[in-house]
Amino acid sequence: MKRVAILISGSGSNMVKLVESMTGDHPGRAVLVASNDPEASGLAKAAAMGVPTAAVSHRPFGRDRAAFEAALLEPILAAKPDILCLAGFMRILTPDFTRHFEGRMLNIHPSLLPKYPGLHTHARALEAGDAEAGCTVHEVTAELDAGPILGQARVPVLMGDTADTLAARVLVEEHLLYPAVLRRYAAGDRTPVLA
Ligand code: GRF
């Protein structure tokens, strides 16, 4: 059984789907949900599902990323995770942090990587006049939003779409893709899930 820790920054809708998926013959179980924001509404959702939680605010650390990451690492390492999932986690992690989880850390990004790494992905896809958009689950490496792709799901861009309507359409696919990728990844299978 693989121990799975999940990092969130906000609503944690992807986290909820991941936790809900880890039942029965699924090879993973959620052992911790941690956030950089003690007010993240996802923390209460995790607690309601019986998953231990931890919160380490990044604010008191100011620009000292290393100190924040050292503090965040404490409850994560204490949970002894085999896999770390970033799910709506909005802080950039330094290579010092990611090296702890090299080859066992996933992230979901709301674009069809390698297109649109970074922020405001849906606005950028609309700006570019793309006919389709989507989401990507990838392994986290030292380079931002650039690790090996483990899954992608595509959605059409529709006439009149705004960043919000497109984000909502993509989010539905995120909630299907991430659990599918985690199940395969926890079983030791890195074959990409291409929805
Ligand atoms: C989602 O669009 C996800 O792709 C991005 O953060 C957004 C919110 O995720 N990483 P969640 O609802 O907090 O899971």
Burial zone of 16 (CB within 10 Å; 0-12 exposed, 13-18 middle, 19+ buried): buried
Nearest one of 14, 6, 4 to 109, comparing CA atoms: 14
Nearest CA to 94 among 36, 144, 33? 144
User: Which DSSP symbol is given to 93?
Assistant: P
pLDDT tier at 195, thresholds 50, 70, 90 = confident
Q: Pocket of ligand 1, candidates 85, 108, 120, 169: which has the most ligand atoms within 8 Å of its Cβ, to mutate? A: 108
pLDDT in tens, 59-99: 999 999 999 999 999 999 999 999 999 999 999 999 999 99
How do strand 149-156 and strand 132-139 relate by DSSP bridges? Answer: antiparallel
Token output for 129: 């006049």
Domains detected in the chain? 2-188 (3.40.50.170)
Residue whose structure tokens are 């649109």: 116
pLDDT in tens, 128-174: 999 999 999 999 988 888 899 999 999 999 999 999 999 999 999 99
Ligand 1 cavity residues, CB under 6 Å: 8, 10-15, 87-88, 108, 110, 135, 171, 174
* The pLDDT of residue 146: 87
Ligand 1 atom with the smallest distance to the CA of 15 is: 14
Nearest residue to 108 (alpha-carbon basis) of 84, 83, 88, 128 = 88
First to last CA, the chain: 26
